[in-house]
Structure formats: C-alpha cells, structure tokens
Amino acid sequence: MSVWTVAEAKAEASERRAPLTSVRGGKRAAIPGLPFAMLVVLLLAVGMVGLLALNVYVQNSQMALNRAQRQAAALALEVSNKQAQVYVKSAPGEIAAAAGALGMIPNPNPAYVDLRTGAILGSPKPATGNELPALRVQVPSAPTTVAVTPVRSDVQPWFDLPAAPLAAPAAPAKP
C-alpha cells in the first residue's frame, strides 16, 4: 500500500461518515452537588435568621417583664405606705381626736336603734360634755401631721426611680 491509497481510503471514509451534531443532555454540571449545597446553605441562612428573630422577640418580652416587675414593686411600696397611713389614722386616739375636732363629745348613756323592729334600746339622754371629763380628748389648735416612714427595699433598680412625695388627698372645692 502506498501513501496514495491510504490517503484515498481516508477521503472515502470521511465522505461516508455523517456530519457531527450535538446531543442534548450530554453536558453535565460543572459541580455535580452544587444544587444540593445551595439548598443546604439556603436552609442554614433561613434558620439563622429565624433564630435571630426568636432571640430578639424573647429579649423584648424579657425587658417588658422586667419593666412590669419594677412597676409592680413600686406600686407595692406605695400600697404599703398608704396602708401605714390608714393604720395610723384608724387608731382609737386619732379617731377620738378627729371626733373632738368636729365637736363630738363622749356620751355615757348610749342608745341603740334596732333596725329590724325600729325599737330604741337604752335610755337616751343628751350629753353636755361634763359627764366624763377623763374621756374628753383635747383638740390641738393646729392640726397634727403624722410622719410616715416609707418602707425600704433591698431591690436595686437598674435606674433611679423618680421620688414622688406622698400627696395628701385633695380637699373638695367649696362652692
């Protein structure tokens, strides 16, 4: 075989071959696990954002709870102070002094009314004020003020609460 015959055989073989065409789906992705890896990274990112949102929500709820607890402690102290004022004002001596300031005098001959029957029990006699001088309460010329010591607490707040002075109840306006 000569060189010419080999060249002729190659030429004939190339004429008989069909032209080359591309086949669909023949190309593979550059990295076979890339879609799965992207899905995993996306799930991790969504999970981290969800955890961050949950953490912020829990922290805000805790701050609201702390604020409500501080307010409840301040209100409990205020209630305690008001109860102490009521106890001081409801003492028998204070009630007797308030009655004396209103012009009331003790009566050694009390009479009672039975509300079911309407009957008067006892023998009522008007009091003159001289019957029991030992029970008479001397009314001071100026009203006395009672100093109430506020209750102290061991709770240390995160910030200073404004000290609100205890105000006396407002007197009704006179027409």
Give the pLDDT of residue 170.
54
Query: The tokens of 81 are what?
Result: 């102070």
pLDDT band for position 74 (cuts 50, 70, 90) = very high
Per-residue pLDDT band at 147 (split at 50, 70, 90): low
Domain ranges, ordered by start, for the chain: 33-105
Residue 104: which pLDDT band, with cuts at 50, 70 and 90? confident
- Tokens coding 124: 């009522």
Asked whether 9 and 1 are in contact (CB, 8 A), the reply is no
Taking a C-beta distance cutoff of 8 angstroms, is the pair 101, 89 a contact?
no
